[in-house]
Structure 1
Amino acid sequence: MVAIEVELPAGPTTVSADWHQGTNGITVVVAHGAGAGKDHPFLLSFADGLAELGFSTLRFNFPYVEQGRRMPGPAAHAIATWNAVVAFARAQHPDAAVWAAGKSYGGRMASMAVAGGLATEGLVYLGYPLHAPGKPEKPRAEHLPAIAVPQLFVEGTNDPFIQPLSQFEEVVATCQNAEVAWIEGGGHTFEVKGQKRSAAEAGSSLVTIVSDFVTR
């Protein structure tokens, strides 16, 4: 485990992270969702699966998790964290391409950071939270058309955060360079009704999809 310094408006803080050095020249930085930290079984198995394929990986916590709080802090704090962890990843493996990936909230914060100027080779969203469940009238998408790097949306067809799917598809169509990988019957945590599998199994099931896109 390593500690990464993050410059917040109130002063510097540190977040914990786990770095794995790979061999294939690509780093994937992985952020957690709003309700779980970097060591959630879903993220562990996802990152471990990428590591087995030769990727460098960096999992990290946002400051609110480090502070023992359950609810995310200001978006500016998350964006500052994304800038710090990507800088750390580039310092560890300077020649590697860096991709930002995140579960739900973590992916949305990555997209906001990149729209605001953070340089990455691409973005991967593991369940992009387009809107709160049942509130499609308040989409979180105004910044997405500004992103020029490739974007991969990995989405469950039963995810309440992107219903109706027609609205989500219209949003993706506004992006400059984006694709969707659909998980048939998947919910927001990629659970599939009638299939019994753990969070770790759900995370590992996405590794090939993401690897194929990132290395294309």
Structure 2
Amino acid sequence: MSQNIFLRSDTVRPSTRWLDAFPEGICCEQRVLGGKARPGDVIWVDTAHARWSDLIGALMQALPACHLAVVSMAPDSAEAVVAFDRGARAYCHAMAVPSVFWDVELVVRHGGLWIGPELMTRVVGAAGRALASPEDASLPLLSEREAEVAREVANGLSNKEIAVKLGITERTVKAHLGAVFEKLGVRDRLQLVLRLSEHGEISQSVN
């Protein structure tokens, strides 16, 4: 049976809500993790760890058959970008209620990604702000039509819905989206929204 393992240190401990969610969960330091983790386990890493992003990369190499979930006391989209780029399968608040932790566990064990509705709302909003400023040098160059397609993806529309809204064929939408993926260096819609959010937060840093 797979386990939930929280990576602790002298200064980093799981929240009481995580402990409530996983009363049988294991808390251990990195030096003994290799002897406890099994394929399919979910390993929870708090961003309070020093150099937490490097830690995720090291765990991905050492324990590729495990799932990594990142928790943060102050979740934000830029941090989420780093977590997912390093290989994490989930990113959520360290003080989430137990039911959210259960949902996260279920999603990652089935091969999905968990970003959470609250953070996704902020990510989509940041992406919209970024695309609303085409002159912003922090954004890779997109054509006007590519930016329109990317904006509608960030709004949650399907290719078919985008085609109807923009008055173009679904094949054309796919072509534009392929160009957007290539220019921004992303593989799917979630990565697209996260990447646009990253640029959006840079361009909106005065707020």
What TM-score do the two structures reach when normalised by structure 2?
Answer: 0.38
Task: Give the strand-richer structure, 1 or 2.
Answer: 1
What TM-score do the two structures reach when normalised by structure 1?
Answer: 0.37
Greater C-alpha radius of gyration:
2
Task: Give the helix-richer structure, 1 or 2.
Answer: 2
